[in-house]
Every structure is written in C-alpha cells, then in structure tokens.
Amino acid sequence: TPGGSNCRPNHTEISRANQLPAACSLLNGRCVTTRVLRWSWEIKLWGADVKRSDSWSVFSVISGGIAGGIEICITFPTEYVKTQLQLDEKANPPKYKGISDCVKQTVNSHGVRGLYRGLSSLLYGSIPKAAVRFGVFEFLSNKMRDENGKLDSKRGFLCGLGAGVAEAVFVVCPMETVKVKFIHDQTSANPKYKGFFHGVREIVRTEGLKGTYQGLTATVLKQGSNQAIRFYVMTSLRNWYKGDDPNKAINPLITGLFGAVAGAVSVFGNTPLDVIKTRMQGLEAHKYKSTMDCAVKIMKHEGPRAFYKGTVPRLGRVCMDVAIVFIIYEEVVKVLNIVWKTD
C-alpha cells in the first residue's frame, strides 16, 4: 500500500510480467525506485498450468538435471550402439553386421560395462544442457505467447529452434565430441583414454580447446532441428488434447506418449545430420575438410542409405529419451512446487 512497509503487489493482480509497469505506477515513487519487487505469475509451460516465479530458472536446472540423468542411464546403451554403427564405415570394411552383432562383440570384448563407455561425459553435461535448453525455451516462449498466455505450435517451433541452437553451442558440442571420441577410442587395439577427465586433458593437450568443438556446424543444425521438431510436435499435441479447456490436466502416460511421438518424428527428420555430426567428431574427423565435405564423401563412397545408419537404435533411444524427460521433468516440477514455496 502507498506509504506502507509492504509494497509488493499481489500475484493475482499481476498475472503476467508485461503488466508489471502498469501496476508499479499505482505505487508510490519511493517503492518503485528503491525497492525490488518480488512477484509471481501464472504461465503455461507447453500447456501445463503450473505456478512459476523468479525462482523458476533454478527449477529448470534441478528438474532438467534429474530427468536428464535418469534418462541417460536408462538409454545410453542404445546411444552407444548407434554411435558404433555410424562410425563403422563401409570403406574399412564394416566391423559389425548389425545391432545384435555390435552388442555381442562389445560385451565379449569389454563386458556389459563396455556398453556404458562414454556415459560419464553425458552425465557431466546433463545439468547445464537442461539448464540452457529449458531456460532459453522458457525465455523465448514467454516473449512469444499471445494475450491469453497460449503458445501456438509455430511459435513453439521457433522457441525450440532457439533452445536447440543455444544448447548446441554452450554444452552439446563439446560434450558430444568427448563422448564420440571415447566410444571411437574403444574400437582401437590400445585405447588411450583412461577416463573422462584424462580423456578431456588429452584432447585439449593434443588438439587444443577447438578439439572439443569439432563438428560445431553439424551439431548446431542437429540440435536446432531436434528441439524445433520436438517442441513443435509437443505443443501441437498438447494444444489438440486440451482443446478449449486450457486447465485440462494431462496424465503422465499421455505426456510420455506425446514425447515418444515427438522423438520419433525428430529422428526421421534429422538422422542424416546426426550421422554427419558423429563422423565430424570421431577420431578420424581429420579426413573431412568441412561439414559439407563430410556429407559429399559419405554420399560418394557409401551412398544415401549411409545417412540413415543407426536409425533403429537411435529411434528406440530417442523415443524413450523424450518420453522419460517430459514425464520426469513435469513430475519433479510438481514436487518442487510443493516443497519449495515460491510465493
């Protein structure tokens, strides 16, 4: 109240951030110029009505990190097999006859733990990756929602694209480069990387910091298209399911189903980019002058089918990945909103 000690407006009076200046004009000058207003608002994240506050960026890190960590531990073996098949170039000739043969050879040579080689690099990068992805998506989506707080599928596509590009540049490219080098290193007769930190030190020592940013262009294209497609599909399915009732709750199993569909669409949409990215980040990346040169050489020496190597294991992993991440993420957010009051 004007002249009082408590100048914070009630969150029911200020439902969206863009109403804050108008509300502040109702307060006295001292409050507007000298006090920091703590306020909360109601937003819809991909159609889910959950109360958010200025603490939401911390929610994004915690929720995304937990969801990403669990998802990676469950699905990493399929990621390992996918990467091995993509690195298994025809020109050598191929070492593996298929998915089952790849798994069999790996287990026979290195045990079951061999299917988890390179897992540490993804685990170490999961929290910052989630923070960048969800933080950038939320920032962009809040700017692009209509007057009713709704985000349509086209704007969801653009927000997802922005989130994907950001996570590619700041987290995914160095993380994926290290992961691919670890997995590729295991195929050699005498592996030279003894662990995550040793591997990173060796890569930086021999190749410099740029050694962790191989295939940046392909990674940006892959991650940008990945998140653009997934958020577009998720936004479309959520809006369709809710219809004219924005407050309609979505069962976690439905969320998981929508996530699996979004993941499958993204796989068929950008697997060629994923193959190029993997080749550009492997131990034999020096064979390629650029992303375009890599694509041309794959087409010339292996044919168009090579661009879809590893599609089946990637399809299984990504469908589980997106489904699990969306389910766990939203459930963790619900728990945090109970134990961590943001009013």
Band of pLDDT at residue 165, cut at 50, 70 and 90: very high
Q: Encode 267-282: b = buried (16+ Cβ within 10 Å), e = exposed.
A: beebbbbbbbbbbbbb
Q: Which residue has the higher pLDDT, 33 or 315?
A: 315
- Tokens 């985000």 sit on residue: 151
Q: What count of residues does the chain have?
A: 343
Task: Report the candidate in 98, 90, 83 with the shortest Cα–Cα distance to residue 301.
Answer: 90
Long-range contacts of 246-250 (CB under 8 A, 24+ apart): 246/44, 246/47, 246/49, 246/148, 246/149, 246/150, 247/49, 250/47, 250/48
The confidence score (pLDDT) of residue 261 equals: 95
Q: 266 and 314 in contact (C-beta within 8 Å)?
A: no
Q: Which residue has the higher pLDDT, 218 or 299?
A: 299
**17 pLDDT above the threshold of 70:** no
**236 pLDDT above the threshold of 90:** yes
Q: Tell me the C-alpha distance between 287 and 242, whole Å.
A: 50
- Give bridge partners of residue 43 from the DSSP assignment: 50
The confidence score (pLDDT) of residue 186 equals: 67
Q: What phi-psi label fits residue 47: left (phi over 0), alpha (psi between -120 and 50 degrees) or beta?
A: left
The confidence score (pLDDT) of residue 183 equals: 73
Q: Domain 43-339: which topology?
A: Mitochondrial carrier fold (1.50.40)
Question: What are the structural domain ranges in the chain?
Answer: 1-38, 43-339
Q: What is the pLDDT of residues 87-119, one digit of tens each?
A: 776 546 778 888 888 899 989 988 988 888 878
CB-CB neighbours of 97 under 10 Å: 11
**34 pLDDT above the threshold of 70:** no
**180 pLDDT above the threshold of 70:** yes
- Please state whether the predicted TM-score (pTM) of the whole model is above 0.95: no
**283 pLDDT above the threshold of 60:** yes
**279 pLDDT above the threshold of 80:** yes
What percent of the chain has a predicted confidence (pLDDT) above 90?
15
The confidence score (pLDDT) of residue 342 equals: 52
Those residues with Cβ within 8 angstroms of residue 68's Cβ, 6 or more apart along the chain or in another chain: 126, 127, 129, 130, 325
Which of 69-78, 180-189, 227-236 ranks highest by mean pLDDT?
Answer: 227-236
The DSSP secondary structure of 67-114, one letter per residue, reads HHHHHHHHHHHHHHHHHHHHH--TTS--S-SSHHHHHHHHHHHH-GGG
The DSSP secondary structure of 157-169, one letter per residue, reads HHHHHHHHHHHII
Q: Tell me the C-alpha distance between 208 and 272, whole Å.
A: 28
**10 pLDDT above the threshold of 90:** no
The confidence score (pLDDT) of residue 84 equals: 83
**51 pLDDT above the threshold of 70:** no
- Give bridge partners of residue 77 from the DSSP assignment: none
Q: Which residue has the higher pLDDT, 58 or 310?
A: 310
Q: 283 and 192 in contact (C-beta within 8 Å)?
A: no
**158 pLDDT above the threshold of 60:** yes
Which ranges constitute the DSSP H helices of 168-288?
Answer: 173-186, 196-207, 216-242, 252-281
Band of pLDDT at residue 216, cut at 50, 70 and 90: confident
State how far the alpha carbon of 196 is from the alpha carbons of 103, 203, 278, in Å. 22, 11, 19
> The dihedral of CA 124, 234, 50, 323: what is its sign?
negative
**300 pLDDT above the threshold of 70:** yes
Average pLDDT over residues 67-81: 81
Q: Which residue has the higher pLDDT, 288 or 122?
A: 288
Q: Tell me the C-alpha distance between 339 and 317, whole Å.
A: 32
